[in-house]
Amino acid sequence: MATQLTAPTRRRNTSTAVTNRRNWGYTALAIFFLAIMLFPVYWMVNASLQPNGTTLETSWIPLKPDFTGYATAISEQGGNLGTSLIISLGSVVLSLAIAAPAAYALAYFKVRGAGVVLFAILISQMIPGIVVANALYTAYNDLGLLNSIPGLILADSAHGIPFAILIIRAFMNGMPSSVIEAARVDGAGHVRAFWSIVIPLSRNSLITAGLFTFLFAWSDFLFALTLTTTEAVRPVTLGIFQYIGAYVNDWSSVMATAVLASIPAIVLLVAAQKYIAAGTTGGAVK
Amino acid sequence: MSLTTDLSRSTTRPGTNKSRAGTGATQAPRRRTRQRRERIFQWLFLVPAVVYMALFFGYPVVKNVVMSFQDYTTATFFTGEAPWVGFANYVTVLSSSLFSTSLLNTVLFTAGSILGQFVIGLALAIFFQRKFPLNGILRSLLLLPWLLPLIVSSAVWRWILDKDSGALNRFLGDLGLIHTGIPWLTSTSLALIAVVGVNIWIGIPFNLTILYGGLQEIPDELYEAGSLDGATGWKAFRHITWPMLRPVVSVVLVLGVVYTLKVLDIILGLTNGGPANSTQTIATQSYDLSFHEFKFGEGAALGNVLVIISLVFAVLYLRASRRAVDE
C-alpha cells in the first residue's frame, strides 16, 4: 500500500508498525470530522424515512423506515423534478456547444482579442446573479420568455458557459498541437479537425465541464425564483423553497424531496470521482 | 464588417503560420486570402461564446445602469415608459434606514463566513496532508456539502435549527446544556450568527480543496531542510507553509468574498431576510426591491452598489491570480 511505502521515508526512526497504528488514529480522527460535517446530510436522509405526522420527535435512527414521505414528494414534486432534469440537460448541451469551440479557439488560435474574452470571463464570475436576473426579467417579459423552459436553459447556462470555457481550455492547452497540425496538413478543414480529433481527445474535460454544468443548472434557485411566476414551469429548487416557505408540518416529505434533489450531487461524488478534482480546482485558480 | 478588416491587418502573427510553412510560399496574394479566410474561421469558433457573454453578462450590466436612473416599475410593463430620474433611486436607496442595516449585515455575513471557512478549511487541509489510510475517500466525501444545491442545504438546516423539534436543540437538551429551545432562526440577535454558521459549513469544502491543492505544490525538500534548522510544527508553518501558500490564499480569500457578497439562496431559504431584517443583506434587499416591491429602478441601483463592491475585490482577485500564475 502507498502508506507503507511512503510513511517510513519521512520518519525513518519509527518502526512501520508504530507508524501504521498512528496512521489509523488519524483515519479515526478524519472519520470524526467527516461525521460532524456530514451530519446534516445524514439528518436529511434520516428524516425523509420517518413516518409522517409525528415530526416533533424524530428519532435519531430510522429504525422503522417509512416511505410515505417519498410517495408524497414524488406525487407533488415529480413534475418539478422532471422540469429540472430537462432544463439541466438542455443547459449542458447548450453550454458545451458554445464553450467547446470557444475553448479551442482560445487555446489554439491565439486570435486577436483572446485576452479580452478571457478577461470578460473572469469578470463575469463576479457579477451578482441578482443584477443579471433584474435585467433579464424585464427583457424576458418583452420577449415572452418568462415561465419558459428555453428561457431558463439560456439563463442557467450563464453559470456553466464561462466555467466550461475555462475548464476545457485549460485541458486543451496541454494537448499536443502536432496531432491537429497533422490532420490539417492532410487536408482536414477546421471543423473536421475540431470535430473528429479535438473533441474525442478532450473527452474527459468535456465530461467534467458537462457534469458541473448539469449541477449548476440543477441547483439554480435565483433564476427559477425570478424568471418563473406561475406553476407552468417550476424547477424542484423552487418547489423546495415553496415547501419551506409555508408553515411546515410535514418535514419528511420536504426532506424526501431534498434527498431526491441531491441525487445528481451524490452521483457526481460517487461515480465521477476522478472528474471532480479537475473541476474544483480548474475553474477557480487557473 | 469591422471584424474582417481588423483580422486582415494581422496576417503576420507568430504561432499561426506553422501549419502552412511547407506550402508554396511563392503565391503571396493567394496566401493572404487564405490566411484571411483562416482567421474568419478561427473567429467563428469564438463568436457564439462572445454573443452569449454579451447578451447574458454585458447586456444585464448595461441595462442595470440604465434602469438605475429610471423610474422603472410595474407600470413600465404596460405603458412602456420609464421616466429619467437622475440619481433619485440611489438617493432613496442609500439614505433609507434599511441600507445601513443591510450594509452592516453584508459586512458581518461576509467577514464571518470567510473567516470561518478559511480557518477550518486550512486546518483540515493541513490535517489531510498527513498520510493515512482512506485519506482520499474521506477527503472527497467532505466535498458533499459543497455539491448539494444550496436550497437543499437551507431546507435541511432550517429544520436542524428549528426551535422546537430541531436536531441541534434536542442534542443540546440531551446533553443537559439547555432546558428550553433556542430560537436560532427566529431571534433577531441569533439569526445572523446561525446564517453565517450555515454558510461556513457550505464553504469549508471549497476552501479545503483549493488549499489542499496549494499545499501539495510545496516541495518536501523545503520541510526537510527546515527540520535540519529546527523548523518543525508551528515554526515550519510560519516560515515555510504560510509564505509558500500565500498566492493560493489570496485567490481563495478574494473568490470567497466575491461569492459570499452575492449569496442569496441561503439567506432566502433560511430566514428570508428576517426576523425584522436582521439577516437582510444588500443582495437580498436588492431582490426584495425588484421582485417584491417591483421598484426595478431602486433594485437596479442597489444591485449596482453590490457590483461596485465586487469590482473592488475583482481587481484584487485579478492581481492575486496573476501573481499566483507568475510564481
Q: Distance (Å) from the C-alpha of residue B130 to the closest C-alpha of chain A?
A: 8
Mean pLDDT confidence for B106-129: 96
Q: How many CB atoms lie within 10 A of CB B319?
A: 12
Is pLDDT of B8 > 50? no
Which among A7, A56, A258 is the nearest to B152, CB-wise?
A: A258
Give the residue from B6, B57, B161 with the most A CB atoms within 10 Å of its CB, the best one to mutate: B57
Q: What is the pLDDT of residue A252?
A: 87
- Note whether A222 contacts B49, CB cutoff 8 Å: no
Q: Distance (Å) from the C-alpha of residue B127 to the closest C-alpha of chain A?
A: 8
Q: Distance (Å) from the C-alpha of residue B15 to the closest C-alpha of chain A?
A: 8
| Position B255 confidence tier, pLDDT thresholds 50, 70, 90 | confident
Inter-residue contact B261 to B110 (CB < 8 Å):
yes
Report pLDDT digits (tens) over B93-102: 999 999 999 9
Is pLDDT of A4 > 50? no
Is pLDDT of B24 > 70? no
Given CB atoms, is B134 within the 8 Å cutoff of chain A? yes
- Note whether B59 contacts A139, CB cutoff 8 Å: yes
Q: Which residues pair with B70 in a beta bridge?
A: B84
Is pLDDT of A130 > 70? yes
Mean pLDDT confidence for A33-46: 94
- Note whether A37 contacts B201, CB cutoff 8 Å: yes
Is pLDDT of B75 > 50? yes
Q: What is the pLDDT of residue B324?
A: 56
Q: What is the pLDDT of residue B103?
A: 95
- Greatest mean pLDDT among A220-229, B69-78, B171-180 lies in A220-229
Q: What is the pLDDT of residue A59?
A: 78
Give A-chain residues touching B165 at CB under 8 angstroms: 55-58
Q: In angstroms, rounded to a whole number, what is the distance separating the alpha carbons of residues B70 and B76?
A: 10
Inter-residue contact A153 to A218 (CB < 8 Å):
no
Which among A105, A112, A269 is the nearest to B147, CB-wise?
A: A269
Give A-chain residues touching B41 at CB under 8 angstroms: 190
% chain A with pLDDT above 90: 47
Q: Which residues pair with A242 in a beta bridge?
A: none
Is pLDDT of A55 > 60? no
| Position A132 confidence tier, pLDDT thresholds 50, 70, 90 | very high
- Note whether B43 contacts A121, CB cutoff 8 Å: no
Q: In angstroms, rounded to a whole number, what is the distance separating the alpha carbons of residues B42 and B11?
A: 13
Q: What is the pLDDT of residue B36?
A: 81
Distances in Å between the Cα of A137 and the Cα atoms of A228, B63, B291 are: 9, 11, 9
- Note whether B142 contacts A120, CB cutoff 8 Å: no
- Note whether B45 contacts A105, CB cutoff 8 Å: yes
- Note whether A99 contacts B258, CB cutoff 8 Å: no
Which among A105, A132, A241 is the nearest to B60, CB-wise?
A: A132
Q: In angstroms, rounded to a whole number, what is the distance separating the alpha carbons of residues A18 and A29?
A: 17
Q: Distance (Å) from the C-alpha of residue A34 to the closest C-alpha of chain B?
A: 6
- Note whether A31 contacts B264, CB cutoff 8 Å: no
Q: What is the pLDDT of residue B233?
A: 83
Q: Where are the beta strands (DSSP E) in B160-313?
A: none
Lowest mean pLDDT among B10-14, B48-52, B293-297: B10-14
- Note whether B264 contacts A105, CB cutoff 8 Å: no
% chain B with pLDDT above 90: 54
- Note whether B261 contacts A128, CB cutoff 8 Å: yes
In the block, residue with C-alpha cell 436582521: B278
Instruction: Name the closest residue on chain A to residue B250, using Cα atoms.
Output: A285
Measured at the CA of A56, the angle between CA A51 and CA A60, to 5 degrees, comes to 65
Instruction: Name the closest residue on chain B to residue A221, using Cα atoms.
Output: B265
Burial readout A20-38 (b: 16 or more C-beta within 10 A, e: otherwise): beebeebbeebeebbeebe
pTM over 0.90: no
Q: What is the pLDDT of residue B136?
A: 87
Mean pLDDT confidence for A63-88: 91
Lowest mean pLDDT among A17-26, A65-74, A224-233, A264-273: A17-26
Choose among B213, B308, B298, B314: nearest CA to B259: B314
A156 or A3: which carries more pLDDT confidence? Answer: A156
Is pLDDT of A42 > 50? yes
Is pLDDT of A115 > 70? yes
Instruction: Name the closest residue on chain A to residue B4, using Cα atoms.
Output: A112
Instruction: Name the closest residue on chain A to residue B321, using Cα atoms.
Output: A285
Instruction: Name the closest residue on chain A to residue B324, using Cα atoms.
Output: A285
Report pLDDT digits (tens) over A183-195: 777 777 778 888 8
Which among A27, A111, A158 is the nearest to B42, CB-wise?
A: A111
Give A-chain residues touching B7 at CB under 8 angstroms: 112
**Angle of helix B150-160 relative to helix A236-245, nearest 10 degrees?**
20
Q: Distance (Å) from the C-alpha of residue A80 to the closest C-alpha of chain B?
A: 14
Is pLDDT of B43 > 70? yes
Instruction: Name the closest residue on chain B to residue A23, using Cα atoms.
Output: B132
Q: What is the pLDDT of residue B325?
A: 54
Mean pLDDT confidence for B214-227: 89
- Note whether B314 contacts A225, CB cutoff 8 Å: no
| Position B178 confidence tier, pLDDT thresholds 50, 70, 90 | confident
B34 or B293: which carries more pLDDT confidence? Answer: B293
Mean pLDDT confidence for A236-257: 86
Q: What is the pLDDT of residue A85?
A: 96
Is pLDDT of B208 > 70? yes
Q: Running DSSP on this structure, what letter comes out for residue A105? A: I
% chain B with pLDDT above 70: 89
Distance of CA B301 to the CA centre of its chain: 20
- Note whether B56 contacts A276, CB cutoff 8 Å: no
Q: What is the pLDDT of residue A30?
A: 94
Quote the ipTM score: 0.86
Give A-chain residues touching B148 at CB under 8 angstroms: 41, 219, 262, 265
- Note whether B22 contacts A38, CB cutoff 8 Å: no
Measured at the CA of B286, the angle between CA A77 and CA A40, to 5 degrees, comes to 45
| Position A122 confidence tier, pLDDT thresholds 50, 70, 90 | confident
- Note whether B303 contacts A141, CB cutoff 8 Å: no
| Average pLDDT taken over every residue of chain B | 86
Given CB atoms, is A246 within the 8 Å cutoff of chain B? no
Q: What is the pLDDT of residue A285?
A: 40
Q: In angstroms, rounded to a whole number, what is the distance separating the alpha carbons of residues B260 and B199?
A: 9
Whether omega for the bond prior to residue B275 falls within 30 degrees of 0, making it cis, is yes
Q: What is the pLDDT of residue A279?
A: 65
B 279-298: CB under 8 A from A: 283, 286-287, 290-291, 296
| Position B6 confidence tier, pLDDT thresholds 50, 70, 90 | very low
Q: What is the pLDDT of residue A124?
A: 87
- Note whether A222 contacts B261, CB cutoff 8 Å: no
A 112-151: CB under 8 A from B: 112, 114, 117, 120-139, 141
A167 or B115: which carries more pLDDT confidence? Answer: B115
Mean pLDDT confidence for B221-245: 88
Give B-chain residues touching A284 at CB under 8 angstroms: 206, 210, 251-252, 255
